Amino acid sequence: MKLKFLGAAGEVTGSCLLVEADDARFLIDCGMFQGGRDAAPKNRRAYARELGRLDFVLLTHAHIDHCGLLPRFAWPRHGAGLPAIYCTKPTADLVPVMLADSAFVQSRAAARPGRRRAPVTESPLYTLEDVRRLATRLNAVPYGVEFLPHPQVAVRLHNAGHIVGAAFVEVRLADGGRRRTLLASGDLGENSALLVRDRDLPPPADVLVVESTYGDRNHRSLQDTETELVEVLHEVLQERRGNVVVPAFALGRAQEFLVLLYRLAKAGRARVPLVFVDSPLARQAAEVTFAHLDAVDEEAAEFHCAERARKLPFALRYTESVEDSMFLNSIRGGAVIIAASGMCEAGRIRHHLRHNLPRRECAVLFTGFQAAGTLGRRIVDGARSVPLFGESIPVNASVHTLGGLSAHAGQDSLMDWLRAIARKPRAVFVNHGEPLAAHTLSSRLASEMRWSPTIAEAETGYET
């Protein structure tokens, strides 16, 4: 079996693994590189790469860093045609929504050269039409049911507990006269996550590929996170009479934060008068998420039912138009405003920061990792002022970071999942992590499990 990591090696974005065994040749994920200055050229190079004949693509989930380069196969210049893509039903529903948003963001960035740094590339990698063509190749498969995307390959998708529809993949294939099993973790979630059901246990495998996003650290407990959030909400909304602005990723984090607010308000631990979700993409993501109630956690399903019955313990509004979004700027206090992007690099969150950052009575509440070089990171690092829309905006609002809401498993949680693998794999690859995270997890696997993991290097071929 040959493996080649075309992304997410030494970093956490651009997931794409090429697998070859006997005459089967396929990809697991085809994600976009995100963040940092070199993401745009890497996407362009990856997009132009000749992948040759592919039998199929297995897609773990709908985050852009796992599916964002799939439309390459709809490109007229991609001669080999469109391979079939297999994923769960929620993922198949989410992918067109996520990719259409990505195409829109790219076209807008290209239409405004020089206005601000293009997030992806200087010209769009793909269009809405490409996304539409690509979407016709998505095949939905239930968790736990074996299917044959190729005569010599049998695949089963398992719940990864990361976002709705996320899967880790178990692939049984013919390899040099033997049957061998490849297990690829995709992104694994914490079992305490509020939005999706707990992840499945891993089956045994000959070859294992495991993510290491948080391979070097653990998250704060959900209990501590709740206590912290209760304090911030009380202090800002009731005592200071300001707003709480929450930058959040549209898919996953925005919905999870709403469930957390619901949980606290229902228990009488927090008084939250008004909640706005100012992100059309987050609204669409919520629609797809809650259309799959069998995949979401019980409390998340309860939140959804309460919302539909108009029995939420707070007023929740989704804003659609730019006018509605601008109206939020006139609200002086008592509101929680959730908007994308999660790292404040683009989107409506920047308008809310402009209006609320200078006000001492307000707060900015980060719910996820802020990568180096992003506006979110500058605010977290204590910048006294930040540039927004050509102005220098003073940071007078208080700044908070909730430590326990990650959609990724922390180090101990990753180890728990790995310990559940019944027998030692013949080969283990650690990918999807910054170098320190990948090395730390790898050391624990070596010392505690007596495994000999290989830290995946980009563009390197491995024969196992």
Residues found near Zn ion in the complex (CB under 5 A): 63, 187
User: Which of 12, 174 has the CB closer to Zn ion?
Assistant: 12
Could you tell me if residue 89 is left (phi over 0), alpha (psi between -120 and 50 degrees) or otherwise beta? alpha
Q: Is 239 exposed, middle or buried (0-12, 13-18, 19+ CB in 10 A)?
A: exposed
Least distance between Zn ion and beta carbon 98 (Å): 11
How do strand 385-388 and strand 315-318 relate by DSSP bridges?
unpaired
Least distance between Zn ion and beta carbon 53 (Å): 28
Burial 300-332 (b: 16+ CB within 10 A, else e): bbebbeeeeeeebbbebebbeeeeebeebeeee
User: Which of 351, 408 has the CB closer to Zn ion?
Assistant: 408
Least distance between Zn ion and beta carbon 116 (Å): 26
Q: Is 383 exposed, middle or buried (0-12, 13-18, 19+ CB in 10 A)?
A: middle
User: Which of 25, 63 has the CB closer to Zn ion?
Assistant: 63
User: Which of 212, 319 has the CB closer to Zn ion?
Assistant: 212
User: Which of 89, 180 has the CB closer to Zn ion?
Assistant: 89
What does 331-360 look like in DSSP terms, one character per residue?
--SSEEEEES-TTSSSSTHHHHHHHHTT-T
Least distance between Zn ion and beta carbon 34 (Å): 11
DSSP state of 298: H
User: Which of 163, 363 has the CB closer to Zn ion?
Assistant: 163
Phi, psi of 184 (to 5 degrees): -120, 125
Least distance between Zn ion and beta carbon 163 (Å): 6
Do 431 and 438 contact (CB within 8 A), yes or no?
Answer: yes
Least distance between Zn ion and beta carbon 274 (Å): 30
How do strand 167-175 and strand 244-247 relate by DSSP bridges?
unpaired
Residues 132, 102, 135, CA angle at the centre, nearest 5°?
Answer: 20
How do strand 244-247 and strand 398-401 relate by DSSP bridges?
unpaired
Least distance between Zn ion and beta carbon 464 (Å): 25
User: Which of 194, 316 has the CB closer to Zn ion?
Assistant: 194
Least distance between Zn ion and beta carbon 93 (Å): 16
Least distance between Zn ion and beta carbon 87 (Å): 13
User: Which of 63, 352 has the CB closer to Zn ion?
Assistant: 63
Residue 318: in which H helix or E strand, if any?
strand 315-318
User: Which of 96, 242 has the CB closer to Zn ion?
Assistant: 96
| Helix axes 89-111 and 280-290, enclosed angle (nearest 10) | 170
- Residues 6 or more apart whose CB falls under 8 angstroms from that of 214 comprise 406, 408, 409, 410, 411, 414, 437
